[in-house]
Amino acid sequence: MGTVRVFWLFFRVGVMNELQYRMNFVVQLLQSAITLGVALAVLALVYSHTDDLNGWSQSELLCVFGIQILMGGVIKAYIQPNMTRVIGEVRDGKLDYALTKPEDAQVLASVREVRIWQVVDVISGAVVLGFGLSGIVADLALLDAAAFAVALVLGAVMIYCFWLVIATGAFWIVNMWHAIELFDGVYLTGRFPVGIYPGWLRYSVTFLVPIAFAVTVPAEAVTSRLEWQTLVIAALFATVLFVGTRWFWRFGLKRYSGASA
Amino acid sequence: MTSVAAPVPADAPQGLELPEAGRLRSTVDFYLTTMRLAVQEQFQYRTANYFYMFGMVAEPVIYLVVWTTIAEQQGGSVQGLTVGYFAAYYIVWTLVRNMNIVFGAPFWEHRIREGELSGALLRPLHPLHFDVAFFAGWKVVVIVLWIPLAIGLSLVFDPVLDPRPLEIAVFFVAIWGAYLLRTMFQSTLGMLCFWTTRGAAIFDLWMTLELLLSGRLVPLPLMPDWVVTVSWFLPFQWAFFFPIEALVGDFTDAELARGLAFQLLWILIGLALFKLAWRFAIRRFSSVGN
């Protein structure tokens, strides 16, 4: 219960803080429009040379793009800002302020920042997904929609866990800044269904950086190609990751001695 | 009354201009020293540099896999470009992309906001010299660190690469041309930061044009004809497609020479634009920070 309350409190403060900077909304609109434009240009280019990419039609790939943009918005609104803040604070010694509060340190470290304008990406991703779905002949079954929602949440949890590992890594390696570039680069792989990648890369972006679970699996759900086993694996993997990263975070914390004092 | 000129002591320094005789030498010395410092500094951060490079490699690998998939579906080539060509194109891409990383426009915002520019202005040399020299030194580190990466990618993707000696020579000149070209245009764009702290969207727009018109996304021949036509009037392809294609494709000698000439032309245009923009921008500057 406490977790939800803390989350809600920080969320409200964060949103109020961000709403002061309305110009950021305009900038974000432009940037989202650019992201969208590039995605559509890539799609048009690919399908000007073929009708089918490894079994995915243009409309189906549009769904993948939409989910990738949507999930990217979630990551940039919530996960990434919190985790990069932890990385920065480990270096500056400011993490002590969070650790001395009478609340679970992991919860605090994960909810303090929110970039509400990134919601524009979430919405534009959803719109793209909608357009993609409208191009697919078969109707979206209720079961598929439910599987999509579950897969999306599981995917976000897994991405969060991945980022927490990176942030915890800052307890050992102080210079983790490039992790952001690394993640942004690797996240681009989500633009395409992981099936097209060679084996080593497919496994890397599934289990090492869980982008396949975050984007391809939800996309499989809405295009009616998801097998229930995949969803079970996703749920199991998310649980293992969540427990594992929580342990890793605590392990890292024990090692942390503060830098400010 | 006769006019009285101010008495000039015999041992006074001859004006405040820099002694022209030693100017070139000290500039060269500045470049070499700054480059050496950059090399020493960046070799300490090998892990960070590799993180950065790995993140960057994801992008061409994605393009490569997509176009390889399409080529294989169509019997081994797209518009005459083979799977081996795509592999070579996108592996060389990684080096050219690395050469394309310069003191970019967004960093000007940081430089102004944090008050670093005030210090830089006190130096007798334009800050652009420092940017060019420091990043050039960094490039040396990048090229060395890139080699294992290129070997790894080559083992995975089987590139077909069969350059003539002249093409190799032109390539090594062209990657530095690309570096200078992009430095000039990014710096010019950076001058916007003297007017606004919200240049991000404009920089993104510029990067997008670059992505589509430079050959970064796909080899230019795969683009629709009108895009190729437009790209001829813009600087982008000379910093990306040309260096890659010089090594990977089969340009004639004349085309190679023309490419280098275009690079030079756009570097000079970029420099002129920068100087013009700088004149207006620096007037607006009032120190921020300390």
- The mean pLDDT of B271-275, rounded to a whole number, is 95
Specify if A261 maps to a domain.
no
Higher pLDDT, B271 or B142: B271
Q: What's the pLDDT score for residue B1?
A: 38
- The mean pLDDT of B184-188, rounded to a whole number, is 94
* CB contact set of B138 (below 8 Å; sequence gap of 6+): B38, B39, B42
Q: What's the pLDDT score for residue B97?
A: 92
CA distance B5 to chain A (A): 59
CA distance A139 to chain B (A): 28
Task: Out of A54, A182, A198, name the one closest to residue B54 (CB).
Answer: A182
Q: State the residue range of the domain holding A194.
A: 2-255
Q: What's the pLDDT score for residue B53?
A: 82
Specify if A156 maps to a domain.
yes
Domain ranges of chain B: 28-284
Specify if A260 maps to a domain.
no
Give ipTM to 2 decimals.
0.84
Q: What's the pLDDT score for residue B199?
A: 80
Higher pLDDT, B44 or B218: B218
Please tell me which residue of chain A has the smallest CA distance to B204.
A31
Round the average pLDDT of chain B to a whole number and report it: 87
Q: Is the pLDDT of residue B290 over 90?
A: no
Spell out the SS3 assignment of chain A. Answer: CHHHHHHHHHHHHHHHHHHCCCHHHHHHHHHHHHHHHHHHHHHHHHHHHCCCECCECHHHHHHHHHHHHHHHHHHHHHHHHHHHHHHHHHHHCCHHHHHCCCCCHHHHHHHCCCCHHHHHHHHHHHHHHHHHHHHCCCCCCHHHHHHHHHHHHHHHHHHHHHHHHHHHHCCCCCCCCHHHHHHHHHHHHHHCCHHHCCHHHHHHHHHHCCHHHHHHHHHHHHCCCCCHHHHHHHHHHHHHHHHHHHHHHHHHHHHCCCCCC
Residues of chain A with pLDDT under 70: 1, 138, 258-261
Cβ B37 vs Cβ B137: under 8 Å: yes
- The rounded distance, in Å, linking the Cα atoms of A161 and B32 is 45
- The rounded distance, in Å, linking the Cα atoms of A59 and A49 is 15
Contact B56 A181 (CB under 8 A): yes
Specify if A76 maps to a domain.
yes
Q: What's the pLDDT score for residue A163?
A: 93
Task: Out of A38, A173, A196, name the one closest to residue B69 (CB).
Answer: A196
Helices (H), B158-240: 165-190, 200-213, 225-231
* A21, A25, A42, best to mutate vs chain B, most B CBs in 10 Å: A42
Q: What's the pLDDT score for residue B54?
A: 81
Chain B residues within 8 Å of chain A (Cβ atoms): 45, 47-49, 51-52, 54-59, 61-62, 65-66, 69-70, 73-74, 78-79, 156, 198, 200-201, 204-205, 208, 211-212, 217-218, 222-224
CA distance A175 to chain B (A): 7
Q: What's the total number of domains in chain A? A: 1
Cβ B62 vs Cβ B24: under 8 Å: no
Q: Is the pLDDT of residue B266 over 90?
A: yes
Q: How confident is the model at residue B18 (pLDDT cuts 50, 70, 90)?
A: low
Contact B59 A23 (CB under 8 A): no
Specify if A57 maps to a domain.
yes
Q: What's the pLDDT score for residue A261?
A: 47
CA distance A123 to chain B (A): 18
A241: which 2 tokens?
Answer: 């990751």
pLDDT in tens, B29-84: 889 999 999 888 888 888 778 877 887 888 899 999 999 999 998 888 999 899 99
Cβ A193 vs Cβ A216: under 8 Å: yes
Q: What's the pLDDT score for residue B235?
A: 95
Specify if A87 maps to a domain.
yes
Least confident of B100-114, B127-141, B268-282: B100-114
